[in-house]
Structure formats: structure tokens, C-alpha cells
Amino acid sequence: MPDTKRAELRGKVIRLADLVAYQEGTVASRMIINKPAGSITIFSFDENEGLSEHTAPYDAVVTILDGECEVWVAGETHQMQEGDTIIFPANVPHALSAITRFKMSLTMIRE
């Protein structure tokens, strides 16, 4: 998304879950902040979609905005639903999978 689209959100009351629509059979995303210190991206996952196990060099905070998912962090499984938050530590393997369609906010801290 061009920065002008992100700028349109500034100073407005928004519902994060409304910023990205569900799309059948896929994952959709919308970055709303992208700065050297970090980023915030809103994702929607259709049923049976997910992210395979990976690591990231930075801590990441995930908050579920709608629906339910299952996450794995360092081999431990967690069920999550709307309102739940988890921190994925830097350099620790993690993954997630939709139980139902779900939306999440991902805040990546780079410093």
C-alpha cells in the first residue's frame, strides 16, 4: 500500500478488523504503519490457511481481532481467539493456523 493510503488513517478512529477483508482460500494483509523502529500489519486468514514455522529477527506482538487460531511457539501449542495476545520472541520458531477464519494485528518491533 502506498504511504498515502496509510496516511489517510492518521488521526481517525478505526476498527482494525475492518481494514482487511477475508478472501477465500488465502491470506490477505494491510500494513498500516511501517517505520524503521517497527511495523503494524493487519492480516485476514481464510479457514485452513496459516503461516508455516519460521523465525524472525525481532519480537512480534500478535493480537487476534476476530475468529480463532492455533499458534505454536518453540514447540508449545496455544489456542487463541478474539482479544487474545501473544508475543513471539525474536529468533524463536513459531507458526499459526486458522481454526476458523480469523484476523490478527501483527506489531513488529525492530529496535
Hey, what domains does the chain have and what are their CATH numbers? 3-109 (2.60.120.10)
pLDDT at 1: 42
> Which residues make Cβ contacts (< 8 Å) with residue 60, sequence separation at least 6?
87, 88, 106, 107, 108, 109
Residue 106 has pLDDT above 50, yes or no: yes
pLDDT reported for residue 10: 85
b/e sequence 23-48, b meaning 16+ C-beta within 10 Å = eeeeeeebebeeeeebbbbbbbbbee
What confidence tens digit (pLDDT) does each residue in 17-57 have?
A: 999 999 999 999 999 999 999 999 999 999 999 999 999 99
Q: Per the confidence metrics, is the pTM higher than 0.75?
A: yes
- Distance between CA 68 and CA 78 in Å, rounded? 11
